[in-house]
């Protein structure tokens, strides 16, 4: 048989087998059981890219990649740090928890990728651009004011717009070089974008994302009627300037805020997210069909649990979260993309090279509270269950130092080593809103093993903490933490490695590894 015929036959067989697999093992909602809110998505040929919100974390505005809309991996960030200000640097008692950069918008135009975002912390709008979304480099332009939940839109005539606002939606035209707004172009686009959801509105419409399909403009927004749930509103118009007519597009499970994406073979989905307790805001895909020029979301108006025609998830490890042995070869990045710092780091105070195979965190100042601790290295938690563990060498701690493993949110929990006149393993809970030391166990050796487990099943939102002296036998410490998603932090719980000083700077600890698994209860 001709080798080209063999190749074509093999390709057809692969496509057929993949199709059969997708039908027998279809994707499930949520497609990512982790905190990936405010998604914005594009397809370029047969590859999907998604940006999201990580607010106070650095680097920020994560870029994820997928070939099938289900299995995603981190491939880049739009920035290393958003800006150099006290709030982002955790300086002078200031922080930017719950703020930083919010909902981004990702677009592809004339061979260039654009990611725009905004920050109440700095009162600026930021536009990042690159011709290589996976490797960069990125160019940034920023200007005032901060356009809340905006959508960036490149129209077919070469003009560039932003639409933003809460309740009353506004539009401006941008300069060709994106350096700011064309004077005199601001206008009210929709006076009351919440109207299709009724008059009893708690959260007015926001989260704008604009698309153009078959010559018509479709504007997606979220609103929240009082006593109801997050709701998708869609407006459409023949001209970008309007007039717009609106519809209530989806009201199920509180799945809302997002937009449209299509597949190379002509299927359409809405990408949206759902508030899901302590794990955060988790992405859903919702099939849609077109009727009379409108996108109709869901199956009989409901969000399906099963997504026929899409493959099953291979799991969130290692694409979204990953274990790390802290061993680096010459060309390896210092930190894999799964890691983010809580606020801007001080790069002089951490290293993966000072001791081969270890992450070293050194204290550089006195901190009064855990939430202001500099250089906390974090990863997302994942659902339905997950566990993070580490080994820490505490030989070089100084009096007053506290280092260990955290579950970061306003109502945080910690297991770690405190160095006073002697060292001890402690568990701290801030479940009540204030930190309480619930257990203290003397420690007479230099190596200790720490673990935190999270149970997000059916929104149980319970965490358990453990320590071990040999890495084999684990002992529970303290009390379970009832985790709570709070708006002051506006983020799902994060696993974090930390070390901070309360008396004398310059002590350090060495973390041998960080392991994450989607299983709990194995001790």
457-514 tens-digit pLDDT: 999 999 999 999 999 999 999 999 999 999 999 999 999 999 999 999 999 999 999 9
Is the model's pLDDT at 10 over the cut of 60?
Answer: no
Q: Does residue 502 sit in helix, strand or coil?
A: coil
Query: Do 58 and 78 touch, CB atoms closer than 8 A?
Result: no
**Same fold: 37-273 with 340-517:** no
Instruction: Give the model's confidence band at 4: pLDDT under 50 very low, under 70 low, under 90 confident, else very high.
Output: very low
Pick the residue with more confidence: 307 or 12?
307
State the DSSP string of 189-225. Answer: EES-TTGGG-S-EEEEEEEEEEEEETTEEEEEEEEEE
Residue 348 CB contacts under 8 Å (≥ 6 apart), including other chains: 364
- Can you give the pLDDT at residue 523? 60
Could you name the CATH architecture of 340-517? Sandwich (2.60)
Could you name the CATH architecture of 37-273? 5 Propeller (2.115)
Is the model's pLDDT at 334 over the cut of 60?
Answer: yes
- Can you give the pLDDT at residue 23? 54
Is the model's pLDDT at 20 over the cut of 80?
Answer: no
> Domain locations in the chain?
37-273, 340-517
Give CA–CA dist 311/318, Å, rounded: 18
353-408, pLDDT tens digit by residue?
Answer: 999 999 999 999 999 899 999 999 999 999 999 999 999 999 999 999 999 999 99
Instruction: Give the model's confidence band at 25: pLDDT under 50 very low, under 70 low, under 90 confident, else very high.
Output: confident
With a threshold of 0.85, does the pTM exceed it?
A: yes
DSSP run (H or E) holding 289: strand 281-291
Pick the residue with more confidence: 25 or 182?
182
Residue 87 φ/ψ, nearest 5 degrees: -60, -40
Return the structure tokens found at 267: 């299927």
């Amino acid at each position: 048989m001709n080798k080209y015929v063999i190749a074509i036959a093999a390709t057809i067989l692969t496509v057929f087998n993949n199709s059969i697999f997708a039908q027998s093992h279809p994707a499930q909602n949520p497609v990512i059981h982790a905190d990936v809110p405010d998604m914005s998505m594009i397809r370029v040929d047969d590859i999907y890219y998604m940006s999201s919100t990580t607010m106070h974390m650095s680097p920020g505005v994560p870029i994820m990649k997928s070939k099938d809309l289900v299995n995603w991996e981190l491939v880049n960030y739009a920035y290393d740090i958003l800006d150099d200000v006290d709030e982002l640097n955790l300086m002078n008692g200031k922080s930017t928890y719950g703020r930083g950069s919010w909902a981004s918008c990702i677009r592809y135009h004339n061979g260039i990728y654009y990611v725009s975002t905004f920050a109440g912390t700095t009162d600026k709008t930021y536009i990042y651009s690159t011709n290589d979304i996976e490797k960069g480099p990125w160019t940034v332009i920023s200007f005032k004011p901060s356009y809340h939940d905006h959508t960036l839109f490149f129209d077919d005539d070469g003009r560039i717009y932003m639409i933003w606002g809460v309740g009353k939606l506004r539009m401006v035209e941008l300069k060709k070089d994106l350096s700011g707004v064309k004077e005199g172009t601001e206008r009210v686009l929709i006076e009351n974008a919440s109207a299709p959801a009724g008059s009893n509105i708690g959260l007015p419409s926001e989260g704008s994302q604009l698309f153009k399909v078959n010559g018509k403009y479709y504007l997606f927004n979220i609103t929240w009627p009082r006593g109801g749930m997050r709701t998708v509103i869609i407006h459409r118009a023949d001209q970008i300037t309007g007039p717009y007519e609106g519809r209530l597009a989806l009201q199920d499970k509180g799945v809302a805020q997002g937009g449209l994406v299509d597949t190379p073979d002509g299927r359409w989905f809405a990408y949206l997210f759902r508030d899901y307790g302590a794990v955060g805001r988790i992405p859903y895909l919702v099939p849609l069909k077109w009727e009379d020029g409108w996108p109709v979301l869901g199956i009989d108006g409901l969000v399906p649990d099963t997504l026929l025609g899409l493959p099953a998830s291979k799991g969130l490890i290692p694409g979204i979260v990953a274990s790390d042995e802290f061993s680096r070869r010459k060309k390896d990045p210092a930190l894999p993309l799964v890691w983010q710092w809580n606020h801007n780091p001080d790069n002089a105070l951490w290293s993966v090279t000072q001791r081969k195979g270890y992450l070293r965190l050194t204290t550089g100042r006195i901190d009064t509270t855990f939430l202001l601790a500099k250089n906390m290295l974090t990863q997302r938690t994942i659902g339905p269950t997950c566990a993070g563990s580490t080994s820490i060498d505490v030989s070089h701690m100084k009096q007053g130092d506290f280092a260990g493993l955290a579950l970061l949110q306003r109502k945080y929990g910690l297991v770690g080593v405190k160095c006073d006149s002697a060292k001890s393993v402690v568990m701290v809970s801030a479940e009540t809103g204030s930190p309480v030391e619930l257990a203290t166990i003397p420690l007479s050796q230099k190596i200790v093993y720490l673990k935190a487990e999270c149970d997000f099943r059916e929104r149980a939102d319970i965490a358990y903490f453990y320590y071990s002296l040999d890495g084999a036998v684990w002992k529970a410490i303290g009390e379970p933490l009832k985790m709570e998603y709070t708006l002051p932090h506006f983020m799902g719980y994060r696993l974090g490695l930390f070390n901070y000083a309360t008396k004398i700077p310059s002590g350090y600890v060495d973390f041998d590894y960080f392991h994450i698994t989607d299983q709990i209860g194995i001790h």
